[in-house]
């Protein structure tokens, strides 16, 4: 089976969906690149090369470069989604949601409800999230709790290439607006990705490690660190369920509750700022619905209440480290 990076898996999936369905179009800044200049046409393919090569096959009518006008073109994509296209629109860094939040929050998310169920809005908004690249306070945030909290949106956060493919297929074919969040530090991670088509349903978590001593819930790049910690503990005979939520809207509550009902102990690891994070949300779900199974305080491991610092020495401790996760797990085991 071919080994692919997440970048490649996304690129391949976009290509195959564009071949399958002529209403799928890609929209964004520099998704092709090279417009209005003397160089080659496929000059960029997205700032991290994720859409590279698509303009060559599908042309500028379906791989649409835009001016730097996020509110305008995200709104345009939302309008197009209601009127016959299935746009996959790229917001580049998800931090840029600040300039187009209305289009996401007040428009695409609410159409169906406000219109009494009379429209579908099949749009995928792709964007990069996360710290780790020294991109500082305006290019490094984890804003998934914000969008996960908005009724009408679905929010996907793959942690590996296999899931990226299956979730992206589901996202493109879904009739609701989907926010598809790619962690920048994961683009070059790879795993086996089958060539065949497979769709991963939303709201279905994956158990990346299994064990009954403690439950660790996470998503996106943090899953890798949780696995690392789980493996280390396993060597000591302590076994953890590591639950990769994969989608943070919908949330697979069942998987979390079932695991906690067995383990009685829960640590949630989220790269977002702690307050009102997915860590808070999962904790509150369990404190309400599996309270009597709990044998220890629920621990949240998240980013602190500060902007993302630039300096490597600070960014490295800003993002939850394996050491912090391990400490939280051990403390929870002992509590």
Partner 1 sequence: MALQETQILEAYRTMRTIREFEERVTAEFEKGGIPGFVHVYDGQEAVATGACMHLTKDDYVGSTHRGHGHCIAKGCDIKGMMAEIMGRATGLCRGKGGSMHIADIDQGMLGANAIVGGAPPLAIGAALSAKTLGTKNLSLSFTGDGGSNQGTVFESMNLAVVLQLPTIFMYENNGYGEHTGAAYAVGCGDIAGRAEAFGMPALRVDGLDFFAVYEAMQEAVDRARSGGGPTAIEASAVRFNGHFIGDPQLYRGEGELDRLRRDSDCLKIFSKRVIGDKLLKKSQLNAIDREVAVLIDSAVEEGFAAPFPAESELLTDVYSNY
User: Catalytic site residues?
Assistant: 139
Give kind and range of the element (H or E) at residue 78: helix 70-81
Give kind and range of the element (H or E) at residue 288: helix 278-289
Which residues does residue 299 pair with via DSSP β-bridges, in sequence order? 267
> Using the rule CB under 8 A, which residue among 35, 119, 309, 327 binds its own copies?
309
User: Candidates 2-10, 25-33, 76-84, 148-156 — which segment interacts with its own copies by CB under 8 A?
Assistant: 148-156
Which partner, ligand TPP, its own copies, partner 1, none, binds residue 235 by CB below 5 to 8 Å per kind?
A: none
Q: How far is the CB of 248 from ligand TPP (least distance, A)?
A: 24
> Using the rule CB under 8 A, which residue among 48, 71, 281, 327 binds partner 1?
71
| CB contact set of 174 (below 8 Å; sequence gap of 6+) | 122, 124, 154, 202
| 73 scored as a contact of its own copies (CB under 8 A) | no
* Alpha-carbon span 70 to 75, nearest angstrom: 8
Site for ligand TPP in 48-107 (CB under 6 A): 68, 70, 92, 96, 99
> Using the rule CB under 8 A, which residue among 67, 84, 117, 151 binds its own copies?
151
Site string for ligand TPP, 239-278 (x = CB under 6 A): ----------------------------------------
Q: Is residue 243 within 8 Å of 218, Cβ to Cβ?
A: yes
Which partner, ligand TPP, partner 1, its own copies, none, binds residue 134 by CB below 5 to 8 Å per kind?
A: partner 1
Alpha-carbon torsion angle 207, 169, 189, 27, nearest 10: -140
User: Candidates 46-54, 55-63, 212-220, 282-290 — which segment interacts with its own copies by CB under 8 A?
Assistant: 282-290
Phi and psi of 295, rounded to 5°? -115, 0
| H-state helical runs in 45-126 | 54-58, 70-81, 101-102, 111-114
> Using the rule CB under 8 A, which residue among 14, 50, 63, 299 binds its own copies?
299
Which SS3 state, helix, strand or coil, does residue 55 take?
A: helix
| 331 scored as a contact of its own copies (CB under 8 A) | no
* Alpha-carbon span 24 to 316, nearest angstrom: 39
* Alpha-carbon span 252 to 282, nearest angstrom: 10
Give kind and range of the element (H or E) at residue 232: helix 222-234
Note the residues at the interface with its own copies (CB under 8 A). 71, 95-99, 101-106, 109-110, 113-114, 136-138, 145-146, 148-152, 249, 251, 272-273, 275-281, 283-284, 286-289, 291-292, 294, 296-300, 304-307, 309, 335
């Amino acid at each position: 089976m071919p080994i692919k990076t997440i970048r490649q898996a996304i690129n391949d999936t976009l290509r195959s969906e564009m071949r399958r369905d002529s209403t799928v179009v890609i929209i964004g800044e520099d998704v092709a690149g090279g417009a209005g200049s003397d160089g080659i046409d496929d000059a960029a393919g997205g700032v991290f090369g994720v859409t590279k090569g698509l303009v060559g096959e599908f042309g500028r009518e379906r791989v649409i470069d835009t001016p730097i006008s996020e509110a305008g073109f995200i709104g345009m994509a939302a309008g197009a989604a209601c009127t016959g296209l299935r746009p996959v629109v790229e917001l580049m860094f998800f931090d840029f949601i600040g300039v187009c939040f209305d289009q996401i929050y007040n428009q695409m998310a609410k159409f169906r409800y406000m219109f009494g169920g009379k429209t579908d809005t099949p749009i995928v908004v792709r964007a990069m999230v996360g710290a780790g690249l020294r991109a500082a306070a305006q290019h490094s945030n984890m804003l998934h709790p914000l969008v996960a909290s908005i009724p009408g949106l679905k929010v996907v956060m793959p942690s590996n290439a296999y899931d990226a493919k299956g979730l992206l297929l589901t996202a493109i074919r879904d009739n609701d607006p989907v926010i598809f969040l790619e962690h920048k530090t994961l683009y070059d991670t790879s795993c086996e990705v089958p060539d065949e088509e497979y769709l991963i349903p939303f709201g279905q978590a994956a158990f990346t490690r299994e064990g009954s001593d403690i439950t660790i819930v996470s998503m996106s790049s943090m899953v890798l660190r949780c696995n690392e910690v789980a493996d280390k503990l396993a060597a000591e005979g302590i076994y953890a369920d590591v639950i990769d939520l994969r989608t943070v809207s919908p949330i697979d509550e069942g998987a979390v509750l079932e695991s906690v009902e067995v383990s009685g102990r829960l640590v949630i690891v989220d790269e977002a700022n702690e307050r009102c994070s997915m860590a808070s949300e999962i904790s509150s779900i369990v404190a309400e619905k599996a309270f009597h199974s709990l044998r220890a305080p629920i621990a949240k491991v998240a980013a602190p209440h500060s902007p993302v610092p630039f300096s490597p020495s600070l960014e490295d401790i800003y993002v939850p480290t394996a050491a912090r996760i391990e400490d939280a797990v051990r403390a929870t085991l002992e509590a």
